[in-house]
Structure 1
Amino acid sequence: MEKELNWTVIGTGVIANEMAQALQKMGKTLYGVANRTQTKAIDFAKKYGVKKVYDEIDEVFDDENVDIIYLATSHNTHYQFMKKALEHGKHLFVEKSITLNSRELDEMMALAKEKNLILAEAMTIWHMPIYKELWKIMQSGELGKMQIMTVNFGSFKEYDMNNRFFNMNLAGGALLDIGVYALSAVRSFMSKQPNEIVSQVRFAPTGSDEQATILLKNEDQQMATIALSMHSKQPKRIMISLEKGYIEVYEFPRGQKATIVDAVTGKQTVIEKGNTENALYYEMCDMEEAVRNQDDSHLNLEYTKDVMDIMSQLRKEWKMQYPGEKW
């Protein structure tokens, strides 16, 4: 009988709640929870029947019963917690954006490799069944070569400069919060990493990126356009244009339905795979499989790295460095 893998979550926000519910769908109970405010961790533990509540976050790393840590804290705290977790031999599943920049991610990837541990970003796009199906269709060549993609993602966030969406001390801004989804979608359908990138950006009063447009092109001449906004609503939509048709996915970060339109006849084919509500369930099943088999090939860490390299390049061009951040 396979050993039960013990998950502990750090953080008790919306994603942590979804993660606990996903574990329940897997027929499991969360082993441990830790949070900066311990009373929140206690309440969370009561809600989900969590076995262990830690007095301090650092205690998680010393607990030999913890196999996998799900890190669901703000972006700017990831690096310090990731380093401790990996140094203590824990497998790591980290909410997006996995780190602030490429330097941090490269260092953590090297540490995970040295310790023979699984490290991955909890990016829904890598795990939703609809994308696994679309990548197969792309690779089959039946629709020809991918030519151009357009991606829209806009949220209307109240203009409160203290909330995490605009707060530079919490690594706020559109790129790391929603741009990471758009870039991950683009990277997954491009044959190679984009090597030509141009952008425009508008900053919020705090100095965070409130709105941006990004153009990308790779060596195979595939192109993409991305429009991001934090203070204006847009449809969460991707359109992938190929030689013989185009594919549309709405609500793409947790997509479950795609429409393929034939370029000649205009015939529409609708494909439905998976369920939006099970997004974290798919993620965590894939993570457990990777840990059990010591094979992370389906977790797409190399794409995560490519996306982080693009985001780091853009922020350097924008001269948008977070407080205390080291490039």
Structure 2
Amino acid sequence: MTAGRIPDDRAVRWGVLATGGIAERFTSDVRDLPGAEVVAVASRREASAKEFADRFGIPRAYGEWAALVADEEVDVVYVATPHSAHRAAAGLALAAGKPVLCEKAFTLNAREARELVSLARERGVFLMEAMWTYCNPVVLRLAELVRDGAIGEIRTVQADFGLQGPFPAEHRLRDPALGGGAVLDLGVYPVSFAHLLLGEPDRVQADALLSPEGVDLNTGMLLGWESGATALLSCSITAGTPATATVTGTTGRIDVPSGFFHADRFVLRRNGSEPEEITAGPEATLHGLQYEAAEVARCLRAGATESPLVPLDGTLAVMRTLDAVRERIGVRYPVDLEG
């Protein structure tokens, strides 16, 4: 049997590493996903792990990460820690031979991302960024229409994601050591959306309002491609934005309403034709994280070590763009000085 392969006749058994809000939403979705179950959870505090396990009916709770990755009944580890801990958590699981689904932003910088990807490829172990947008069927349909020329050649992509705040100085979003700021926490979504449609940009420009701690509070990004396409993107932890996206081509436009990164519908406007609304199916009533979990299961059952929907080379490209944005706006994390 190929390393990491899961037999078709049994459920994929998940171990959840961390107990925050995103871990709760993921666990809730996986519980309702056919052929999947959560069998273990780990936190740095055993009490937190036990409370989480009790709430979701999970058989085992661990007060250390190493115990989770050593659990022989865990097929795949979902890393749901803040991104400042992704390198350590995902690296621990990969070194133990456990497949990993790692939350985004994938790591704090491109160097850490390269280290994880290299480790996974050297060990032949599955690794995927939890970019749920790339597994969303509505977004996939949007990308397919764009590739098929439904709106001609792309000229502009616009997308935003901002939270109202304010976040106090002691919050993790204000801490450089924890990868604070808007770019990694929120900007990863509009940047990834532009990458999905246009690939890695040839030019990156950015401007930002920085906090006294040196993290970005409000950032605007302008990406450019040799094709002539541009992307105007923004992220903020001081202003609530509509979180919409628009893709404009030479023969039409696609509008995605609020929550573009987990879209349940969009409107296709072809020049000279009536608008067409494309919507999701009834399964969209879950949080939307079931799609990435299903893609991981599909890959593991096939014995694959990478997902074609969320390829590792694409994750590395996004991290390079995020690094370039931070360089332009002058945001440095302590980890950037390492290596």
The C-alpha deviation readout for 1:136-177, integer Å capped at 9, x for no partner, is 111222321111111121111123111122222321110000
Shift of the 193–167 alpha-carbon distance from structure 1 to 2, 3 Å rule, reads same
Q: Which stretches in structure 2 are left out of the alignment for 5+ residues?
A: 1-7
TM-score (norm 2): 0.91
2:328 corresponds in structure 1 to 317
2:184 corresponds in structure 1 to 176
Contact conserved, 1:286 with 1:299, CA < 8 A, in 2?
Answer: no
Contact conserved, 2:205 with 2:223, CA < 8 A, in 1?
Answer: yes
Identity fraction in percent: 27
Letter in 1 for 2:302: N
Alignment of 1:149-298 (within 5 A): 149-190=157-198, 192-250=199-257, 251-265=259-273, 267-274=274-281, 275=284, 277-295=286-304, 296-298=307-309
In the alignment, the residues of structure 1 paired with residue 285 and residue 246 of structure 2 have an alpha-carbon distance, to the nearest angstrom, of 19
Within the alignment, does 1:110 sit opposite 2:118 as a pair? yes
TM-score (norm 1): 0.95
Contact conserved, 1:127 with 1:279, CA < 8 A, in 2?
Answer: no
In the alignment, the residues of structure 1 paired with residue 242 and residue 144 of structure 2 have an alpha-carbon distance, to the nearest angstrom, of 25
The DSSP-based 3-state class of the residue aligned with 2:288 is helix
Within the alignment, does 1:72 sit opposite 2:83 as a pair? no
Offset at residue 225 of structure 1 (A)? 0.5
In the alignment, the residues of structure 1 paired with residue 70 and residue 233 of structure 2 have an alpha-carbon distance, to the nearest angstrom, of 42
Contact conserved, 2:151 with 2:248, CA < 8 A, in 1?
Answer: no
In the alignment, the residues of structure 2 paired with residue 16 and residue 316 of structure 1 have an alpha-carbon distance, to the nearest angstrom, of 31
In the alignment, the residues of structure 2 paired with residue 3 and residue 221 of structure 1 have an alpha-carbon distance, to the nearest angstrom, of 49
Contact conserved, 1:255 with 1:276, CA < 8 A, in 2?
Answer: no
Contact conserved, 1:86 with 1:111, CA < 8 A, in 2?
Answer: yes
In the alignment, the residues of structure 1 paired with residue 155 and residue 137 of structure 2 have an alpha-carbon distance, to the nearest angstrom, of 23
In the alignment, the residues of structure 1 paired with residue 167 and residue 73 of structure 2 have an alpha-carbon distance, to the nearest angstrom, of 43
In the alignment, the residues of structure 2 paired with residue 317 and residue 137 of structure 1 have an alpha-carbon distance, to the nearest angstrom, of 33
Q: Which stretches in structure 1 are left out of the alignment for 5+ residues?
A: none
The DSSP-based 3-state class of the residue aligned with 1:233 is coil
Within the alignment, does 1:146 sit opposite 2:146 as a pair? no
- Report the RMSD for the aligned CA atoms in angstroms: 1.6
Paired positions, count = 325
2:3 corresponds in structure 1 to none
User: Structure 1: which 4+ aligned runs deviate by more than 4 Å?
Assistant: none
The C-alpha deviation readout for 1:176-195, integer Å capped at 9, x for no partner, is 001000101011111x4201
Contact conserved, 2:206 with 2:329, CA < 8 A, in 1?
Answer: no
Offset at residue 11 of structure 1 (A)? 0.7
Offset at residue 205 of structure 1 (A)? 2.0
Contact conserved, 1:29 with 1:48, CA < 8 A, in 2?
Answer: no
Letter in 1 for 2:159: V
Letter in 2 for 1:301: L
Within the alignment, does 1:36 sit opposite 2:47 as a pair? no
